[in-house]
């Protein structure tokens, strides 16, 4: 069963029928969760009593009080710039990253990255906690990403990526008129200048397969839905260059125009089997308005 996330509604909500303490009540109402998991939800400010966030395990509850669990709190937005937390549990964090924010540190920048900010965020709650990169998005690509909260969970996802993450789609705004859907297959290598090159020779590089579907087009631009069968570095950007329809704003891979003042690539959806619970989860990030207003 696919679990679709709506971050505007409570995940669970109950009305108290007898006087008790908050943590005892949560243990009673969530018997399927481990005590560690319940305590984690409380410590992350996801528990609300009568609309007020609390982290106090011994808060008194009285008949008629309303207790709810929120998937994401306003506290996240206040602390973290350039991203939103769409889902968090004891094993993973799923975020929505804005264009312009690095996923992880580079030689030139170490502070304002998604990884660094998420690390600071969870360490404010538990000083010894860590997060681990599962996959990356280019700096100028927006959309959904997954981070792990342990090396074990990171490796479970990475070691079986194709099976664990069967759904991963992007929206690309490209130059020119793309007339029909298609598939691009090539072999990719990266040179010393960090530019990825594409070849039709199977002996040169790693195989990359990209499928694309035309959503909208006009005389100047096309909006494509892109699905990856492989996840190589810069794969979509290089393959759009191969197609002779580079992504707008992507000067590195042949773009001559930049009508939206950013690179026109957005990680739209990701669907995966949760590495611990095995539940299928699907997250969708709204297509930026700048991508569609040209049609």
Residues 59 and 146 placed together within one structural domain of the fold:
no
Mean pLDDT value of segment 98-113:
78
At 162 the pLDDT is 84
Identify whether the C-beta of residue 95 lies closer than 8 Å to the C-beta of residue 145.
yes
Q: Kindly list the catalytic residues.
A: 138
CA distance 253 to 250: 6
Instruction: Say if residue 124's pLDDT is above 80.
Output: no
Domain assignment of residue 272, yes or no: no
Q: Same structural domain for residues 209 and 253? A: yes
The reported pLDDT for the residue numbered 65 is: 92
Q: How confident is the model at residue 107 (pLDDT cuts 50, 70, 90)?
A: low
**Which value, in Å, is the radius of gyration of the alpha carbons in the chain?**
22
Q: How confident is the model at residue 74 (pLDDT cuts 50, 70, 90)?
A: very low
Residue pair 11/51 in contact (Cβ under 8 Å)? The answer is no
132 and 54 in a common domain: no
Who has greater pLDDT, 6 or 174? 174
Residue 284 in any domain: the answer is no
Residue at 21 is within a domain: yes
Q: How confident is the model at residue 54 (pLDDT cuts 50, 70, 90)?
A: confident
Are 193 and 120 in a shared domain?
Answer: no
Tell me, what's the pLDDT at 156? 94
Quote the pLDDT of residue 35.
87
Instruction: Please tell me whether residue 51 adopts helix, strand or coil conformation.
Output: coil
Q: Tell which residue, 49, 96, 52, has the closest CA to residue 74.
A: 52
Residues 132 and 86 grouped into a single domain: yes
Residues 63 and 89 in one domain: no
- Inter-residue contact 74 to 14 (CB < 8 Å): no
Q: Are 144 and 284 in contact (CB under 8 A)?
A: yes
For 229, the domain range is: 168-267
The pLDDT of 69-91, averaged and rounded, is 70
Crossing angle for the helix pair 35-43 and 22-29, to the nearest 10 degrees: 130
Q: 2: closest CA among 236, 253, 284?
A: 284
How far is Cα of residue 255 from the mean position of the Cα atoms in its chain? 26
Greater pLDDT, 243 or 104: 243
Measured CA to CA in angstroms, residue 160 lies from 134, 153, 267, 271 at distances of: 11, 11, 20, 14
- 233 in any annotated domain: yes
Q: Which of 20, 46, 70 is the last residue of a domain?
A: 70
Residue 157 pLDDT greater than 80, yes or no: yes
Q: Are residues 186 and 104 in the same domain?
A: no
Widest CA span in the chain = 71
* Residue 172 shares a structural domain with residue 262: yes
Rounded Cα distance between 96 and 84, Å, is 5
Q: Which of 46, 70, 94 is the last residue of a domain?
A: 70
Residue 242: pLDDT band (50, 70, 90) is very high
pLDDT of 109: 57
**pLDDT in the model for residue 120:** 84
Domain assignment present for residue 283? The answer is no
Q: What is the mean pLDDT of residues 113-138?
A: 86
In a domain, residue 172? The reply is yes
Map residue 125 onto helix, strand or coil.
helix
Residues 45 and 118 in one domain: no
Q: Exposed/middle/buried for 227, CB within 10 Å: 0-12, 13-18, 19+? A: middle
pLDDT score at 111: 60
Instruction: Report yes or no on 149 lying in a domain.
Output: yes
Output the domain CATH number for residue 243.
3.30.2350.10
Kindly tell me if the per-residue pLDDT of 77 is higher than 50: no
Q: Give the mean model confidence (pLDDT) for residues 60-71.
A: 88
pLDDT the model gives residue 208: 95
Rounded Cα distance between 292 and 285, Å, is 14
Q: What is the pLDDT of residue 196?
A: 95
Residue 45 phi, psi (nearest 5): 65, 30
d(CA 124, CA 12): 25
The domain that holds 22 is classified in CATH as 3.10.290.10
* pLDDT at position 7 over 80: no
- For residue 265, give both structure tokens: 């690539």
Output the pTM of the full model: 0.74
Residues 6+ apart with CB under 8 A from 104: 113, 114, 115, 133, 136
pLDDT band at 216 (very low <50, low <70, confident <90, very high): very high
Tell me which of 53, 70, 87 is where a domain ends.
Answer: 70
pLDDT band at 23 (very low <50, low <70, confident <90, very high): very high
Name which of 19-23, 110-114, 152-156, 237-241 the model is least confident about: 110-114
Asked if residue 49 has pLDDT above 70, the reply is yes
Nearest to 266 by CA among 155, 142, 137, 146: 142
Mean pLDDT of the chain: 88
Strands 280-284 and 265-273: antiparallel
| Residue 145 pLDDT > 80 | yes
Query: Domain check: are 63 and 82 in the same one?
Result: no
Overall number of domains in the chain: 3
* Residues 120 and 194 placed together within one structural domain of the fold: no
Instruction: Classify residue 33: in a domain, yes or no.
Output: yes
Measured over the CA atoms of residue 116, residue 119, residue 280 and residue 292, the dihedral's sign is negative
What pLDDT digit, counting tens, does each position of 168-208 carry?
A: 999 999 999 999 999 999 999 999 888 999 999 999 899 99
% residues pLDDT > 70 (the chain): 91
């Amino acid at each position: 069963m696919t679990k679709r996330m709506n971050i505007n509604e409570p995940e669970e909500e109950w009305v108290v029928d007898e006087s008790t303490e908050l943590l005892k009540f949560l243990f009673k109402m969530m018997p399927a969760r481990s005590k560690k998991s319940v305590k984690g939800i409380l410590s992350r400010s996801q528990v609300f009593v009568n609309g007020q966030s609390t982290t106090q395990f011994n808060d008194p509850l009285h008949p008629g009080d309303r207790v709810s669990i929120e998937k994401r709190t306003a506290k996240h937005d206040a602390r973290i710039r350039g991203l939103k937390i769409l889902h968090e549990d004891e094993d993973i964090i799923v975020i929505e990253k804005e264009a312009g924010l690095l996923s992880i540190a580079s030689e030139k920048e170490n502070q304002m990255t998604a990884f660094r900010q998420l690390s600071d965020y969870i360490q404010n709650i538990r000083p010894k906690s860590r997060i681990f990169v599962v996959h990356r998005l280019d700096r100028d690509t927006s959309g959904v990403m997954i981070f792990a909260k342990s090396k074990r969970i990171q490796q479970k996802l990475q070691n079986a990526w194709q099976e664990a993450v069967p759904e991963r789609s992007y929206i690309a705004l490209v130059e020119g008129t793309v007339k029909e859907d298609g598939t691009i297959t090539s072999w990719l290598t990266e040179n010393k200048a960090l530019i990825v090159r594409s070849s039709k020779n199977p002996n040169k590089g790693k195989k990359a397969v990209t499928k694309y579907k035309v959503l909208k087009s006009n005389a100047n631009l096309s909006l494509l839905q892109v699905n990856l069968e492989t996840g190589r570095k810069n794969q979509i950007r290089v393959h759009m260059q191969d197609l002779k329809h580079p992504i707008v704003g992507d000067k590195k891979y042949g773009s001559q125009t930049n009508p939206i003042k950013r690179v026109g690539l957005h990680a739209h959806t990701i669907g995966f089997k949760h590495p611990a619970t095995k539940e299928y989860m699907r997250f969708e990030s709204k297509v930026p308005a700048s991508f569609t207003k040209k049609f």
